[in-house]
Amino acid sequence: MTRPHEDIQHHTAVDHREGGPPIRFPANAWCAIDMLHTKTERAPAAVSAYETLIELARKSAARAGDAAILKSVDERRVVALVEVGGHDALKHLQAAWDDHHLYNEHRASAESRALTLYQVIAATGDCTFDPASKSVYAFEQFPTAPQQVEGILPGLASAPGFLGAQIFGTDDGTKSFAIYRFDHRPQIEALRSNAVIAHPVKTF
């Protein structure tokens, strides 16, 4: 049975039950995206750690806004998306998380991870993050400028089962991150074979 967790160091009470309200990141929003590659047995702990860290960020100088945690269906990757005000807010977020023992433990147990600031560059359809939804989500990283990635949106939007997509890009134009939402998993896999199938397990 899940119970609210209390981190003794920062006294941050967190309810670790899955769920949360439907959220959507608006156009041009700045989002800190942290992706963790981990062992399957560590995925639940990673989700719990992110829940505590996001609650901490919402009460800190980072003034984090809406946030979502996604877990891949193979439980090998966990992604946190946190709306922040921009570069200064990201620095506050990094400082708050780096000072937190859960993040240090979380980072030490990770195979790889990276906290990066992105901006919502393009969107189409309804890419609402909703833990209660039966939709299938997927995410994909690109080592290219978001303007190049935007070219995939028309093909996605006209595909059967498409519900929505968002493209995020770093301000230096070197990396992009995409989220897709479809009715069914085979529809995503047929179009984006490199995408990681996932589902939002918690929103804030």
- Per-residue pLDDT of 97-115, as tens digits, reads 776 665 556 555 444 457 8
Q: Report the range of poorest mean pLDDT among 31-35, 54-58, 156-160, 163-167.
A: 54-58
- Tell me the C-alpha distance between 77 and 160, whole Å: 27
Give pLDDT, residue 30.
93
Q: Report the range of poorest mean pLDDT among 46-55, 59-68, 127-136.
A: 59-68
Give pLDDT, residue 104.
57
Structure tokens at 123: 């969107």
Specify the 3-state DSSP secondary structure of 188. Answer: helix
Higher pLDDT, 67 or 93: 67
Give pLDDT, residue 14.
52
What's the pTM value of the predicted model, to 2 decimals? 0.83
Give pLDDT, residue 24.
94
Sign of CA dihedral 132, 38, 62, 6: positive
Range 49-67 average pLDDT? 81
Max CA distance (Å), the chain:
50
- Tell me the C-alpha distance between 97 and 101, whole Å: 8
- Tell me the C-alpha distance between 54 and 66, whole Å: 9
**How confident is residue 31, by pLDDT bands cut at 50, 70 and 90?**
very high
Give pLDDT, residue 9.
41
Q: Which of 5-9, 61-65, 104-108, 116-120 has the highest mean pLDDT?
A: 116-120
Give pLDDT, residue 63.
76
Q: Which residues contact 38 (CB under 8 A, 6 or more apart)?
A: 46, 76, 77, 78, 109, 110, 111
Half-sphere exposure of 31 (CA within 13 A, CB side): 28
pLDDT in tens, 163-198: 999 999 998 888 999 999 999 999 999 999 999 999
Helices (H), the chain: 43-59, 87-98, 101-109, 146-149, 153-157, 185-191
Range 132-148 average pLDDT? 92
- Tell me the C-alpha distance between 38 and 35, whole Å: 10
pLDDT in tens, 111-129: 445 788 999 999 999 999 9
Domains of the chain: 28-203 (3.30.70.100)
Mean pLDDT of the chain: 83
Which of 2, 96, 88, 92 is closest to 47 using CA atoms? 2
Give pLDDT, residue 12.
47
| Residue pair 140/195 in contact by the 8 Å Cβ criterion | yes
Q: What is the CA radius of gyration of the chain?
A: 16
Sign of CA dihedral 76, 127, 204, 90: positive
Q: Which residues contact 171 (CB under 8 A, 6 or more apart)?
A: 117, 119
Q: What angle do CA 111, 18, 191 make, to 5 degrees?
A: 65
